Chain A
Amino acid sequence: MPVLARRIEAAGISTVVVTMMPDVADSLLTPRVLGVEFPFGHPFGLPGDSRLQRRVLEAALVVLAGAGGPGTRVDLDVEWPVPVREAYRSWQPTEPSPIVAQMLKRRPS
């Protein structure tokens, strides 16, 4: 996703990336980053939680419009409203992705 943001930005259109992995986005020279400490699959929050979804989108737009230069990163101070262990389990697919399944098969027993 940082690559798409960079290409769009290089074409003259401003971007912001909302991401659970802002350290990675930073390292890949993403122009503007909003970090969210949310489980994967949920960049704007929980289903039905329109307040949180709006809070994230508003913060993203503030970063988009207000960043003074490249490499701007803001981390959103929101605690995920579900216990970590439960959230960790629930974001993952019900069966391993093909690449993970392949890695598990190759792992020495």
Chain B
Amino acid sequence: MRVDSFRFLPRSFQPLYADPQPLDGESEVVFSPFEKRLADATIALLTSAGLYVQGQQEPFDADRERRDPTWGDPSWRPIPRGTSQGELGMTHLHVNPADVIADHEVALPIRTLDTMVAEGSVGRSALRHVSVMGYQEVGLHTWRGTTAPEIIEMLRGDGVDGVVLAPV
């Protein structure tokens, strides 16, 4: 079967996604072969749900987005792999957060990955996973210029071999 990319999208939004074009500088094919066995690899998760560790990290800035609706907070949060259910808050004004708050595995399956590590099918869960907030300014200038390099530096430092990214 082929996934219908528009099944759950309001009809009025569909023209916005009908003919997506790569941004300037994003037209080259990129690919890094996955060289290791999964059982020997370190895997990180990356969500765009706007998750943050409550009481330890600042929420993403929804107030500024309310004042300037074309802006989205381009910062990011490292999410420790030992984060438990109930520790994460969510700032995302474009989806209903209820299900992710009820069970963060819906967007960031830390426990599920831990289970696979315990069973031996995956080598390690990364020391830190990653959260961004997916609604961003046109052109993604800060994401490309600042956020991505910072995330990459952390992933490299943590010896990550592969990343599972999941937009919400």
Contacts and interface: CB of A to CB of B under 8 A. Distances in A.
Interface of A: 1, 3-24, 27-29, 31, 35-48, 50, 53-54, 56-58, 60-61, 64-67, 69-71, 75-77, 84, 87-88, 90-94, 97-99, 101-102
Q: A-B pairs with the 7 shortest C-beta distances?
A: A47-B103, A98-B69, A35-B3, A41-B95, A70-B31, A43-B166, A7-B148
* B interface, over-half SS: loop
A8 B96 contact: no
Interface residues of B, number: 78
A13 B22 contact: no
Interface of B: 1-10, 17, 19-23, 26-34, 37-38, 41, 43, 46-49, 65-66, 69-70, 93-97, 99-100, 102-103, 105-107, 109, 111-113, 115-116, 122, 132, 134-135, 140, 143-144, 147-149, 151-152, 155-156, 160-168
A88 B33 contact: no
A87 B8 contact: yes
* A interface, over-half SS: mixed
A4 to B, nearest CB: 6
Contacts of B23: 3
B20 A53 contact: no
Nearest to A77: B1
